[in-house]
């Protein structure tokens, strides 16, 4: 299967490395307007010669590039978020269904071995608490911190809650950019589960904490280090167990999933419809934060 990576920035280079090593896949082209990074400058020139494409361009270009690929019968793995607007996301989802093509969204944390181990233990979450902090980088700053960082944990929370969203409240602030750099959101689900998520891209330390509480079990994950801790009560005693899942390669697992979806019709963890669902929640949180900032400026 011939595959092109469109966009050879930070994530695009990693995607190219992973797919180049997969059996049965030929990395046919790396596309980027910068000749120092790409073999081809215009992605349209490769669409007639590839069966699949990984799209790692800036968010505002996701819809344009993904739509062009799908129209030419090319399967698509697009970096998160699926698009910049819900209308664009709907257009891509509908087109992929019409063309019977794979449309996968790159929520790579779903393929983290630590998160998959946690998800296997969690059956009825009542409370989810996530913290995702990072130092400031210009990369990704074209979108707010919700679409840049928090969206990872929004996807994980939605996958665990297995319920529709009932109510959302949020606050946030601008610090180093003209957009939201710190945000906190509280999500109430119809089934009673509650999620508190916070994200910052102006922190000194990198933090990837994810905690889940359910009847009889507390599970804590350090997704940065791949460490899990479980606390439960059994036979009248508190039992604590720790696990380490630091040997997995989430990006490689995501790449393998994309190939299997194309070649063997395997389901992907985050398809276009699921990516659209996450985007809807992220945009709603962004709207609430901006309304609050406008009210109290």
Shared domain for 21 and 117, answered yes or no, is: no
| pLDDT of res. 177 | 87
Domain termination site, one of 82, 101, 120: 101
CATH code of the domain containing 221: 3.30.360.10
Other CB atoms within 10 A of residue 243 CB: 15
Query: 155 with 110: CB under 8 angstroms?
Result: yes
Q: Residue 51, CB half-sphere, CA atoms under 13 Å: how many?
A: 11
CATH code of the domain containing 60: 3.40.50.720
**Residue 26: which pLDDT band, with cuts at 50, 70 and 90?**
very high
3-state secondary structure of 276: helix
Range of the domain at 86: 2-101
The DSSP 8-state label assigned to residue 40 in this structure reads B
Q: Rounded to the nearest 5 degrees, what angle is found at the Cα of 153, between the Cα atoms of 273 and 275?
A: 10
- Count, residues in the chain: 297
The pTM of this model reads 0.95
Shared domain for 209 and 176, answered yes or no, is: yes
Q: Into how many domains does the chain fold?
A: 2
Tell me the backbone φ, ψ of residue 181, rounded to 5 degrees: -110, -25
CA 81: distance to chain centroid? 7
Shared domain for 137 and 213, answered yes or no, is: yes
Instruction: List pLDDT tens digits, range 43-92.
Output: 999 999 999 999 999 999 999 999 999 999 999 999 999 999 999 999 99
**Is the peptide bond prior to 81 cis by the omega test (within 30 degrees of 0)?**
yes
Any domain includes 265: no
Shared domain for 93 and 203, answered yes or no, is: no
Query: 269 with 111: CB under 8 angstroms?
Result: yes
Shared domain for 288 and 239, answered yes or no, is: yes
Domain termination site, one of 101, 132, 158: 101
Any domain includes 73: yes
Q: How does strand 182-189 pair with strand 103-106? A: unpaired
Q: What is the mean pLDDT of residues 157-164?
A: 97
User: Where do we find the tokens 């505002």?
Assistant: 60
Shared domain for 114 and 89, answered yes or no, is: no
3-state secondary structure of 88: helix
- R_g over Cα of the chain: 20
Instruction: List pLDDT tens digits, range 231-285.
Output: 998 888 999 999 999 778 999 999 999 999 999 999 999 999 999 999 999 999 9
Shared domain for 113 and 91, answered yes or no, is: no
Shared domain for 148 and 291, answered yes or no, is: yes
| pLDDT of res. 140 | 56
Nearest-angstrom CA–CA distance, 110 and 205: 23
Shared domain for 69 and 154, answered yes or no, is: no
């Amino acid at each position: 299967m011939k595959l092109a990576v469109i966009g050879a920035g930070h994530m695009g280079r990693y995607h190219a490395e992973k797919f180049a090593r997969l059996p049965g896949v030929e990395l046919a082209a790396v596309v980027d307007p910068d000749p120092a990074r790409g073999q081809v400058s215009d992605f349209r020139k490769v669409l007639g010669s590839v069966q699949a494409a990984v799209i790692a361009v800036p968010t505002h270009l996701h819809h344009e590039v993904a739509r062009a690929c799908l129209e030419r019968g090319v399967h698509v793995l697009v970096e998160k978020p699926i698009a910049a607007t819900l209308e664009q996301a709907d257009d891509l989802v509908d087109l992929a269904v019409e063309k019977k093509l794979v449309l996968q969204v790159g929520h790579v944390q779903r393929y983290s071995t630590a998160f998959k181990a946690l998800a296997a233990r969690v059956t009825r979450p009542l409370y989810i608490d996530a913290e995702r902090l990072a130092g400031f980088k210009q990369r990704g700053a074209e979108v707010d911190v919700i679409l840049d960082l928090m969206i990872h944990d929004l996807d994980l929370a939605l996958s665990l809650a297995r319920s529709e969203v009932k109510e959302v409240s949020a606050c946030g602030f601008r610090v180093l950019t003209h957009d939201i750099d710190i945000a906190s959101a509280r999500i109430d689900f119809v089934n009673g589960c509650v999620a508190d998520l916070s994200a910052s891209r102006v922190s000194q330390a990198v933090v990837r904490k994810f905690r889940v509480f359910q009847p009889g079990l507390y599970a804590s994950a350090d997704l940065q280090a791949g460490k899990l801790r479980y606390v439960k009560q059994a036979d009248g005693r508190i039992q604590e167990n720790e696990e380490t899942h630091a040997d997995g390669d989430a990006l490689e697992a995501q790449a393998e999933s994309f190939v299997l979806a194309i070649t063997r019709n395997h389901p992907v963890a985050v398809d276009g419809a699921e990516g659209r669902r996450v985007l809807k929640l992220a945009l709603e949180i962004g709207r609430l934060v901006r309304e609050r900032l406008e009210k109290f400026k």
